[in-house]
Structure 1
């Protein structure tokens, strides 16, 4: 399987990395972002903004930056390996103490909550997806995007975001997990203006060795690859090898 597409526009946010130039510099010398910052998200009215937690603000901020007014009505794909699992843990701990759960907190703990909030604050009534696909979550998001483009959508908004796992899940942490979010506005491969990228999937080659310890979460490694502007990125997950290439 191989798909091709064009990234018409991109945006990203992480603590200490808030501008396109900062991200380009980061791509030349990548490191796991760290810090306590949160985007201002001034596009959203204060009453609604108060309901959005830190991870949601990061994801929605990048979506706002990437989806211009003329791109309204396009479908969007929100993808996160772990989602806002910290919120779910807090709810479970409240249950263990026999406390009453907040309906608002419960509603915001589901995996599609951030995508739903974005659709509400933007007044979007179109198609949206919220997915989690383990290690290959960014790849799964682009496969869904290819399907939407194939169905005739002129563009698709792709938002990938994740946060640190709660300590109760520390034994399951298999890669760095800093807070971060990025967004691409993806168009068909023949669009011409933008970053041309190809993504393929196949069997793991017999000669594939043991992967090196990760310095970045895979979702940020994908962003670094795109911003680098050249080369190939190969990633093995769940018995398949994914290959990203510049130029389609």
Structure 2
């Protein structure tokens, strides 16, 4: 079987946003007939002051909106884990175009293009002074972030907010994509998988097992229609008992427990 490991956790709340998918009811319908969301719409972020809102682009708005909708008052000061496979790739590409045209790059746009910029903006907007982490793990970005989150729970965090977001890549990158392109953001509220957490907020009890064995797993049914990160959210909403897929040379098995 090779080197196998696993983690377990509970998802006690979630929120998601994508063009045309703005409510929990929209997402429950999407779970029955999933597709890769695209479009130019973005959250209004009405609870963010206008001066701060101007600095937040579509991807950041999707992340911040879902995090605001998912977090509870008691989560203040608890760790945040932000994950995006490509980050703000549109902003980064615009900077590269300016560089290629021998134009000066905007320091503000450069600062907002770095991978932890959305997390930093959220901490400023909401006055969060706790621990936040910004990750990218290729096609296995969600799985990588969950390992980080469960580690924080094991270190004593009462909850961890996981924020996942990605946007459509500029056309110049289309030939390099290895999974469906989509625009989305979602957040999960995670707690430890123990009796105390279960009594306080049962939620969905999930486990994630990974193995470096050479035998390829059965492909997930949604593997051809959704990027891997969004397929993980589909698994949460769908009620399916298992999901198997391969990403970054590792076999991953998701399981739902009673």
Given the alignment, which residue of 189, 204, 222 partners 2:193? Answer: 189
Render the CA deviation track for 1:214-239: whole Å, top value 9, x for unaligned. 11111111101001123101111122
Structure 2 residue 113 is matched with structure 1 residue 109: yes
**Which TM-score applies when normalising by structure 2?**
0.92
Structure 2 residue 158 is matched with structure 1 residue 149: no
- The alignment of Structure 1 onto Structure 2 pairs a total of residues equal to 248
Given the alignment, which residue of 84, 98, 101 partners 1:97? Answer: 101
Cα deviation for residue 118 of structure 1 reads: 0.6
Write the distance in 1 (CA, Å) between the matches of 2:220 and 2:31. Answer: 20
User: Unaligned stretches of 5+ in structure 1?
Assistant: none
* Structure 1 residues 107-146: aligned runs within 5 Å: 107-146=111-150
Write the distance in 2 (CA, Å) between the matches of 1:233 and 1:210. Answer: 8
**Which TM-score applies when normalising by structure 1?**
0.96
* Structure 1 residues 21-40: aligned runs within 5 Å: 21-40=25-44
User: Unaligned stretches of 5+ in structure 2?
Assistant: none
CA RMSD of aligned residues (A): 1.5
Q: Is the 8 A contact 1:15 1:33 kept in 2?
A: yes
Write the distance in 1 (CA, Å) between the matches of 2:16 and 2:95. Answer: 29
Write the distance in 2 (CA, Å) between the matches of 1:208 and 1:29. Answer: 23
Q: Is the 8 A contact 1:176 1:215 kept in 2?
A: yes
* Structure 1 counterpart of 2:237: 227
Structure 2 residue 251 is matched with structure 1 residue 241: yes
Write the distance in 1 (CA, Å) between the matches of 2:102 and 2:62. Answer: 32
Render the CA deviation track for 1:99-133: whole Å, top value 9, x for unaligned. 22211101001000001101110100111100100
Q: Is the 8 A contact 2:216 2:251 kept in 1?
A: no
Change (3 A) 1:203 1:47: same
Cα deviation for residue 70 of structure 1 reads: 2.1
Cα deviation for residue 210 of structure 1 reads: 7.3
